[in-house]
Amino acid sequence: MNFFVLVIGLYLLISYVLIKLLGLISDVYKNRLVIGFYWCLNFFVLSGLFFLRFREIDNISLAVGKLFFTYISLQFMALLLSPLALLIEKILSINSNNTFDDTKRNLLKKIAIAVPTFSLGVSLYGVYNESENIKINTLKLEVEAKAKGLSDFKIIQLSDIHLGLFFSMEKLEACLKLIQAEQADLLVITGDLIDDLSLLTPTITLLEQYQQYFDKIVISWGNHEHIRNFKLIEQAFKDSEITVLCNENYQINQKLYLLGVDYPFDNSKLNRSNMLNLAQKDIPQEALKVLLSHHPAFIEESFENNIALTLAGHTHGGQFPGFAQMMALRYKYYKGLYKKGDLYGYVNVGLGHWMPFRLGCRPEITIFILK
């Protein structure tokens, strides 16, 4: 609940700052009717999103939800553009004369229209195009797999699917059909699989149906599993054929061990080290190790513990400008491939999202071929 209060508070703050900035650009945005309509629309969108949380997922809910988030994305993009528009207005104000004032007024009118119009275009693209345009990344990694008899061992990673309103079962099945043709050895899912618990049983059933196409499907927990209903989700997977690794390991063959760690709500280095030590228990020193961790901070410990490859998620790569830079400041490892010597860490930007807007950060499926 505290998270949602924080998000609502941040949204209202952004809305307030935006209308103030727009008011500095054009007097249109100082009009009481415009301001009143603006705040009514904001509260309507917030109320609508709250209502959608309790509505059964269907195509109508999806369409309405995307419209609401298009509006929210529009506001965020307008907030990013407004300082630039304001700077132009200030430059035009310097040493202006009466003749230039008329030109300036016309230009400012165009800017006042251009900011929300351009923001709307970007928002529509981010919600309806890029957030739906999944890319497949294939990485060939030199990890001495050949020396261990594992040459061309193929792992497919999915992360942050967030099954629910904006990522349907049909979309998940389409992704599974897509990767089925890759003939991978392992399919791993690094946390935040489910947001809507009504989809828990159908999700497990679907994964079990596709397990025949892989040697194993393995999952590690993310923070959303804990937030939703961890005991319910944990028991459902215990009763299934899907393997879950929580501070433990699984021997894939004589040379390869798969490790999985839980989400570290206590994100101290000591706690992460303790969790990783549990996950490494009884693994032969000469074995090749691959770690599944929702939180990317474990990449640091994996480098220290000679783990060949760590697969993480959680950050969504920031999803769009502004948030991406915030993620980069908060997380040492926030997006893409990291390398230390012959060891690798990879932070997947996610297949799904809790906010259906991406810009410069397409959702991804990642294929790793060990060499």
Low-confidence ranges of the chain (pLDDT < 70): 1-3, 89, 92-102, 104-105, 108, 146-147
CA distances from 58 to 8, 188, 345 (A): 25, 28, 37
What residue type is assigned to position 150 of the chain? L
Predicted local confidence at residue 114, as pLDDT: 82
Which phi and psi angles does 367 have, rounded to 5°? -115, 125
Mind spelling out the 3-state secondary structure of the chain? CHHHHHHHHHHHHHHHHHHHHHHHHCHHHHCHHHHHHHHHHHHHHHHHHHHHCCCCCCHHHHHHHHHHHHHHHHHHHHHHHHHHHHHHHHHHHCCCCHHHHHHHHHHHHHHHHHHHHHHHHHHHHHHHCHHHCCEEEEEEECCCCCCCCCCCEEEEEECCCCEECCECHHHHHHHHHHHHCCCCCEEEEECCCECCHHHHHHHHHHHHHHHHHCCEEEEECCHHHHHHHHHHHHHHHHCCCCEECCCEEEECCCCEEEEECCCCCCCCHHHHHHHHHHHCCCCCCCCEEEEECCCCCHHHHHHHCCCCEEEECCCHHHCCCCHHHHHHHHCCCCCEEEEECCEEEEECCCCCCCCCCCCCCCCEEEEEEEC
Q: What is the pTM of this model?
A: 0.88
Predicted local confidence at residue 302, as pLDDT: 96
What residue type is assigned to position 351 of the chain? L
Predicted local confidence at residue 85, as pLDDT: 79
* Residue 138 bridge partners (DSSP): 367
Identify the structural domains of the chain with CATH numbers, from first to last.
2-128 (no CATH), 136-370 (3.60.21.10)
Token pair 């508070």 is at which residue? Answer: 9
Show the tokens assigned to 171.
């979309």
Residues with Cβ < 8 Å from 102, sequence gap 6 or more?
A: none
Predicted local confidence at residue 98, as pLDDT: 53
pLDDT digit string, tens, across residues 303-348: 999 999 999 999 999 998 888 888 899 999 999 999 999 999 999 9
358 near 73, Cβ under 8 Å? no
The dihedral through the CA atoms of 75, 79, 84, 87 has a sign that is positive
Predicted local confidence at residue 106, as pLDDT: 75
Predicted local confidence at residue 137, as pLDDT: 96
68: Cα separation from own chain's centroid? 19
Predicted local confidence at residue 101, as pLDDT: 64
Give the number of C-alpha atoms closer than 13 A to the C-alpha of residue 25, restricted to the C-beta side.
27
Predicted local confidence at residue 146, as pLDDT: 66
